[in-house]
Amino acid sequence: MGLVIVPTPIGNLRDVTLRALDVLQAATLVVAEDTRTTRKLLSAHGIAGKELWSYREQNAARVTPAILERAAAGTVAIVSDAGTPGVSDPGRELIVAARSAAISVEVLPGPAAFVCAAVLSGFELDGFSFEGFMPRRSADRRTALAAALARGRTAVWYEAPHRIAATLAELERLRPDAALFLARELTKVHEQQLAGTPAQVRAALPVPVRGEIALVLGPWKAAPSLPPPARDEVDAAIDAAIDAGLSSAAAAKAVAALTGLERGTIYQRIALRKRTRSARDDGTEAPGGS
């Protein structure tokens, strides 16, 4: 008896655990974010005849007492459309209400899109943060991105497809050399994985953008300033590598080997140097060119 939190696949319907299927089969009631989506999952795994109730933000206050009554007498499984209920999906308030009513609550391990995206990014994940959905207002997005950059640790958001281009443009204005990873439609037929700067990721997205998106911002640290003699030598080596047509990655490797400096530091210096050179060619002055 009690309430059981059952994670469901984020895309591929086979990404469900045997234990999750056991609970869904045995439950006296399945509480779903969207009963149509859940019926497709149940049907795909041969589970028929389940009583399904809808539970979402709009009706939560009204249906919670009846759900708790059923959970006190039998097993109630709660699912969202995809992933783990309570993680940017309905469920948290129901868990709190169940505990307040002394009804047992259990959670099964299972899919979470932000975890998959964070692992795929290859970024350092010690102390990384999951930020939920990106704020809708431009000013709030800017604040959230600036705060994450200041922390210097990996951060993950979910973002709506119709806002992702604006979010990437905002990040590009804040830090054009930021390291990003974007996962779209994870585990689905049209899955897309993109890595690069905000401009590179934005250019690689389809138009229009569709599907579920997880955005991972890598840890950013300002390149330490170099003493004038070393700075001049490094910039000369960078200019030579750029003029030779080397990519940023190849140039960073070559200059790091030549100077003994860390490749990551050189890579950030290359990005700054390219902006400085571009601004000079355009007849404008690049900020922070020293």
- pLDDT tens for 4-62 read 999 999 999 999 999 999 999 999 999 999 999 999 999 999 999 999 999 998 999 99
Q: Please give the full DSSP string across 178-212, using - where no structure is assigned.
A: --EEEEESTTSTT-EEEEE-HHHHHHHS-SS--S-
Q: How confident is the model at residue 285 (pLDDT cuts 50, 70, 90)?
A: very low
Angle ∠(146,132,137) on CA atoms, nearest 5 = 55
**How would you classify residue 123: left for phi > 0, otherwise alpha for psi between -120 and 50, otherwise beta?**
beta
What sign for the dihedral angle of Cα 74, 78, 84, 90? negative
Phi, psi of 32 (to 5 degrees): -125, 150
Q: How far apart are the first and last CA of the chain?
A: 66
Sequence-separated (6 or more) residues with CB below 8 Å from residue 219 = 123, 124, 152, 153, 154
CATH class of segment(s) 2-107: alpha beta
For residues 261-280, average pLDDT: 82
Alpha-carbon distance of 177 to 77, in angstroms, equals 45
Domain ranges of the chain: 2-107, 113-217, 228-282
- pLDDT tens for 191-234 read 999 999 999 999 999 999 999 999 999 998 765 555 655 778 88
- pLDDT tens for 223-262 read 555 565 577 888 888 988 888 888 888 888 888 887 778 7
For residues 144-159, average pLDDT: 94
CATH number belonging to domain 113-217? 3.30.950.10
What pLDDT shows up at residue 84?
95
- pLDDT tens for 56-107 read 989 999 999 999 999 999 999 999 999 999 998 889 999 999 999 999 999 9
CB atoms within 10 A of CB 144: 19
Measured CA to CA in angstroms, residue 190 lies from 10, 150, 184, 195 at distances of 13, 34, 8, 17
Angle ∠(131,134,138) on CA atoms, nearest 5 = 135
Alpha-carbon distance of 34 to 28, in angstroms, equals 18
Tell me: pLDDT of 290 over 60. no
Better pLDDT: 229 or 164:
164
For residues 162-187, average pLDDT: 95
What pLDDT shows up at residue 166?
97
Better pLDDT: 269 or 184:
184
What pLDDT shows up at residue 111?
93
